[in-house]
Amino acid sequence: MFEKHWLTFIGSDDNISLVHVRWVEKMDVCVSAFETLESPFQYPQVRGMLVTVGCENSGHVFAATVCEDEEDASKEKVFYCNSWGKGCVLASEIVQEMDKQNCPKIKYVQYLLRK
């Protein structure tokens, strides 16, 4: 699904675009789901991502981007900035926190593209 949007963007005269992805059935919050969401970062034009997670009566939004790994500067990882004061973390920590807060589903994702 993302590739279609990416190809349209690359072929256009636009310099920036926001791709909104919503699932018919909401995706479970788990590490493998986040790995799927992170796959578009293989394209250098993907500069960031917003993930909206649904809880019973509320939700959370996480901003993500690719940064150098502090432990190994030769590697890059996707880091998420969260709203509960722990700074930038990996997907595994987001999954643990969402499990504690009973937020089981990813509602939608938005990708920021820039040439």
- Residue 36: domain span: 2-114
pLDDT tens digits for range 12-26: 999 999 988 876 566
pLDDT over 70, % of the chain? 89
Of 72, 48, 55, 35, the residue nearest 106 (C-alpha):
55
> How many domains does the chain divide into?
1
Confidence grade of residue 107 (pLDDT, cut at 50, 70, 90): confident
SS (H, E, C) 52-86: EEECCCCEEEEEEEEEECCCCCCCEEEEEECCCCC
Supply 4's token pair: 């279609």
49-89 tens-digit pLDDT: 998 888 777 788 889 998 877 777 667 789 888 766 667 88
pLDDT of 3 reads: 83
When pLDDT is cut at 50, 70 and 90, the band that residue 94 belongs to is: confident
Angle, CA 100 vertex, CA 52 and CA 50 arms, to 5°: 15
Q: Are strands 46-54 and 59-68 parallel, antiparallel or unpaired?
A: antiparallel
Per the CB < 8 A criterion, the answer to whether 112 and 48 are in contact is: yes
pTM of the model: 0.82
Q: Which of the two residues, 28 and 39, has the higher pLDDT score?
A: 39
Which residues lie across from 14 on neighbouring strands? Answer: none
What pLDDT, on a 0 to 100 scale, did the predictor assign at position 17? 93
Q: What is the reported pLDDT for 32?
A: 84
- 19, 37 in Cβ contact below 8 A? no
The DSSP symbol for 42 reads G
